[in-house]
Amino acid sequence: MLLISFLTALYGLFWLFWILGTLFINGFKYLTFDLFLQDPNPPGIEGGGLRHAFVGHFIITSLATLIGIPIGVCAGIYYAEYGRNSKFFMSLKNITDIMVSTPSIIMGSVMYALMVVPFKQFNALSGIFALALLMIPVISITTYEMLNLVPHTLREAAYALGAYKWQIIKDVTMKASKVGILTGILLGVARISGETAPLLFTAFNNAYLSFDLFKPMATLTVTIFNYIMGPYDYWHKQAWAAALFLTFLVLVLSLLAKALLYFGTLNPLKWKIKK
Amino acid sequence: MEKINYYLEVIIKNFLGFWALFSGFFFPFIVFLILFYESRLAIKNFGVIKFITTSTWDPVSQNFGGLTMITGTLISTFLAILIAAPVAIGIAIFITELAPNVLKGVISSAIELLAAIPSIIYGMWGFLVLSKFMRSYIEPFLQKIFSSIPWLGKLFSGSPTGIDVLTTSLVLSIMIIPFMASVVKDSFNLVPSVMKESAYSLGATKWEVIKDVVIPYTASGIAGGLILSTGRALGETMAVTFLAGNVVQIPTSLFSPFTTITVALANQFTEADTPLYLSSLFYLSFLLFILSFIILSLAKLMVLRLQKRWK
């Protein structure tokens, strides 16, 4: 029986290596400078690159991050510092936790109703909001959990000195859990940078380089989807290369988040160990 | 100065509180309202019971029923859980009870990496690599074994294409293993070591301790993990879109192509040309939202109960 449990671990690793292996073998060959620097050729003509998708992906994820971080962090701080003893806010926290796992395509359809139908056109802004909404629960829950790890005695010491709550948040708890909150932010960015479903009918796709937030904008994920479903062989090759880049980016972000948590100098987990 | 600090306190508290209210209350509520409002036309035309029991999905005659998609979602989710559950529990046992300390971190991080891979990567890998492998090796092999058995044989009938229920569920199961394993692992870690040590002192073997102490005491955590991953699998879109084949039919065997709620949404949202068509799609996403919300709340409750018991 114990052997079986060892085999299940191997089974999990087997898929991981198979997926990453094929991705690397197929993608690395086609990872060229042209891919990053050229716009795509008209369909059917070989060559070109995916500059438009890289740029669009960067714009959409970074703007979504800029909206998502402050809202998520604010909500997380409130849950941890003010709502700790309130049943109402603790149940709101649990609802937020549930929203972390809500199907991402739902955000797409909500933003379609809210922003695509009124504008009568697919637009990048609706994609940005869809991703930001996906990110808020992830960040607020990690922020809450990280602040929760800060020992209560630290807060009490600050109270004893006559500090206001906002001063404690600014000077004590946020300082102690800086690294933890950064981890949450990285996880949130990793989560949204691989998302496709909410962008399919919000930001849609665009064959050209575009900076206009009120027009459709290409992203890496939607481009990969269209290229894989498309008929041309060189599309598949470019999609493999883009997929390798995307996976590498997401894996590095999540590994970085983990590493920060373990090696961070101001790691709240260490408080716990010291006690 | 004292006054300024006091006002700042009030302002900051309310500002933070507003966003807490937003992310815990307004956000889910607005999602609910918008989906409900947009699907009003379909609800008025088809009702609730009729919509979820009708299997016609006909954009030409404007007649829509969600049964095909709902069954597809439920079948693929159920099979994925069936494949993933034993594996995830095995992995959790290996990491918490068996692995030497050096391996512990490495293996649990590697399994967590599986969760970090974007779902579109699973989709394209499944579509371009796994489905071909399934079509030429695994599925004919399964068919050879099971086709002679009278009842089971039906499940494995039809020509193996690789784009079907079996491949979809397999890929879904790989995607949810890390979630399930991490919830189960966390609840295993909650078992007080005194309990385990007392069983060891009575002469129990490692396997007996796991079987008779750890698993019974974490049953609600395991169930919570299973339900949480059900919620995840329900809403999975991209991987399923690549692998389901998008044929509007209720699958009769493991080798038939099918469709799910998420596949229908991903493929048809941009095509919906009439208000009723669009409204029916919103109705589907409304149902998906309600379903996953209920299932995830159940999972949350079970895990919370376990944590309370051990605190």
> In chain A, which residue's Cα lies nearest the Cα of B99?
A6
SS3 A48: strand
Q: What pLDDT, in 10s, does the model give residues B18-49?
A: 999 999 999 999 999 999 999 999 999 998 99
pLDDT above 70 as % of chain B: 99
What is the average pLDDT value for chain A, to the nearest integer?
88
pLDDT-derived band at A275 (thresholds 50, 70, 90) equals: very low
pLDDT of residue B285: 94
Question: Mean pLDDT, to the nearest integer, of B186-213?
Answer: 89
Q: A247 pLDDT exceeds 80?
A: yes
Q: How far apart are CA A237 and CA A50, in angstroms?
A: 12
pLDDT at A37: 85
CATH class of B2-310: mainly alpha
Q: Which residues of A touch B240 (CB under 8 A)?
A: none
Residue B31 dihedral angles phi and psi, to the nearest 5°: -55, -45
Among B89, B174, B160, residue whose Cα is nearest residue B125: B174
Which B residues 286-305 touch A at CB under 8 Å?
288-289, 292-293, 296-297, 300, 304
Q: Taking each helix axis from N to C terminus, what angle separates A104-111 and B261-268, rounded to the nearest 10 degrees?
A: 40
- Buried-state track B74-98, b at ≥16 Cβ within 10 A, e below 16: ebbbebbbebbbebbbbbbbbbbbb
**Please, what's the b/e burial string for A237-268 (b: 16 or more CB within 10 A of its CB; e: otherwise)?**
bbbbbbbbbbbebbbebbbebbebbeebeebb
Given this model, what pLDDT does residue A273 score?
Answer: 44
* Of B272, B243, B132, B134, residue with least CA distance to A229: B243
Lowest-confidence pick of A227-241, A258-272, B11-25: A258-272
Q: Per-residue confidence at B292, pLDDT binned at 50, 70, 90?
A: very high
Q: How far is CA B86 from CA A12, A115, B117, B177, B181, in A?
A: 12, 43, 22, 9, 10
In single-letter form, the type of residue at position B21 comes to L
For B245, which DSSP code? B
What is the average pLDDT score of chain B? Answer: 90
Write out pLDDT tens, residues A199-221: 998 988 888 888 888 999 999 99
Q: What is the DSSP letter of B86?
A: H
Interface of A with B in 216-245 (CB under 8 A): 221, 224-225, 228, 236, 239-240, 243
139-198 of B, contacting A, C-beta below 8 A: 174, 177-178, 181
Residues of A in contact with B300 (CB under 8 A): 94, 97-98
Query: Is residue A123 scored above 50 in pLDDT?
Result: yes
What was the pLDDT predicted at A264? 63
Tokens for A226, please give them. 């269209």
pLDDT at B249 over 70: yes
Residue type, A147: L
Tokens of A42: 């008209």
Nearby residues of A22 by Cβ (< 8 Å), 6 or more positions away: B125, B129
Q: What is the DSSP letter of A114?
A: I
Question: Is A267's pLDDT higher than 60?
Answer: no
Listed by number, the residues of chain A in 102-121 with a beta carbon closer than 8 Å to a beta carbon of chain B are 102-110, 112-114
Question: So where are chain B's domains?
Answer: 2-310
- Decide if B292 and A103 are in contact by the 8 Å CB cutoff: yes
Q: Which residue has the tokens 């999609």?
A: A239
Give yes or no for A79 touching B (CB within 8 A): yes
**A164 chain-B contacts, CB cut-off 8 A:** 5-6, 8-9
Write out chain A residues lying below 8 Å of B297, CB-based. Answer: 98
How much is the CA Rg of chain B, to the nearest whole Å?
A: 24
Cα of B24 to nearest chain A Cα, Å: 4
Would you call A78 exposed, middle or buried from its count of C-beta atoms within 10 A (0-12, 13-18, 19+)? buried
Query: Taking the alpha carbons of B295, B298, B304, B307 in that order, is the dihedral positive or negative?
Result: negative
pLDDT computed for residue B310 by the predictor:
65
| Residue B100 burial (CB count, 10 A) | 6
CA distance A211 to chain B (A): 22
CB neighbour burial string for A9-45, b if at least 16 within 10 angstroms, e if fewer:
beebbebbeebbebbeebbeebbeeebeeeebeeeee
Distance from CA of B150 to the nearest CA of A (A): 30
**What are the tens digits of pLDDT across the range A8-39?**
999 999 999 999 999 999 999 888 888 888 88
Tell me if B111 and A16 make a contact (CB, 8 A cut-off): yes
Q: pLDDT digits over A141-154, tens only? A: 999 998 988 888 88
Q: How far apart are CA B26 and CA B189, in angstroms?
A: 35
Interface check for B16 against chain A (CB to CB < 8 A): the answer is yes
Distance in angstroms (rounded) separating the CA atoms of residues B309 and B311: 6
In this complex, which of A2, A6, A19 lies closest to B125 when CB atoms are compared? A19
Distance (Å, rounded) from C-alpha B46 to C-alpha B56?
12
Contact A265, A273 (CB under 8 A): no
A225 → chain B, closest CA residue:
B120
Let me know: does A101 contact B183? Beta carbons within 8 Å: no
Query: What pLDDT, in 10s, does the model give residues B135-163?
Result: 998 888 888 888 888 788 888 888 888 89
What type of residue is B107?
I
- Answer whether residue A222 shows pLDDT above 90: yes
Whether residue B165 has pLDDT greater than 70: yes
Please check whether residue B166 is in contact with residue B139, taking contact to mean a CB–CB distance below 8 angstroms.
yes
Residue A45 has φ and ψ, to the nearest 5°, of -100, 120
Mean pLDDT along residues A227-255? 91
Burial class (CB in 10 A: 0-12, 13-18, 19+), A52: buried
DSSP code of residue B63: E
Q: Give the per-residue pLDDT at B143.
A: 86
> Nearest residue of A to residue B95 by CA position?
A9
Q: How far apart are CA A109 and CA A127, in angstroms?
A: 10
